[in-house]
Amino acid sequence: RKEVEQDPGPFNVPEGATVAFNCTYSNSASQSFFWYRQDCRKEPKLLMSVYSSGNEDGRFTAQLNRASQYISLLIRDSKLSDSATYLCVVNFRGGSARQLTFGSGTQLTVLP
């Protein structure tokens, strides 16, 4: 079983749509959670951290359910520029400090 699992997609949605990505992680001792964004043939970049209480950054909302070991990312009012691969990322407690484990990513294409 992979440590961090994501639906690979692709998700093809029209502009203005709301889309949600899910991610599950296997290690219940996981400590910190993030979403990174990776544009085609580019490097990953931090999109947002995920906090236990849930957090929002503009059109993006992240949720964490520790009991179900589940993370989600919601994008409202999708823009063409949101087209990218979204990587679910986890820091496992007991692992090296600041070491991150990446999921395989979910590909999103926003269509005009």
Closer to another protein at the Cβ: 17 or 38?
38
Give 53's contacts (C-beta < 8 A, 6+ positions apart): none
Work out whether the CA dihedral 13, 15, 16, 22 comes out positive or negative. Answer: positive
Among positions 9, 27, 102, 109, the unique one binding another protein when judged by CB under 8 A:
102
Q: Does 69 bind another protein (CB under 8 A)?
A: no
Of these, 64, 75, 87, 108, which contacts another protein (CB under 8 A)? Answer: 87
- Tokens representing 93 are 């407690």
In the complex, what is the shortest distance from the CB of residue 112 to another protein, in angstroms, rounded to a whole number?
26
Rg of the Cα atoms in the chain: 14
Contact in structure between 89 and 36 (CB atoms under 8 Å): yes
Binding site for another protein (CB under 8 A): 4, 8, 32, 34, 42-46, 49, 87, 91, 95-105
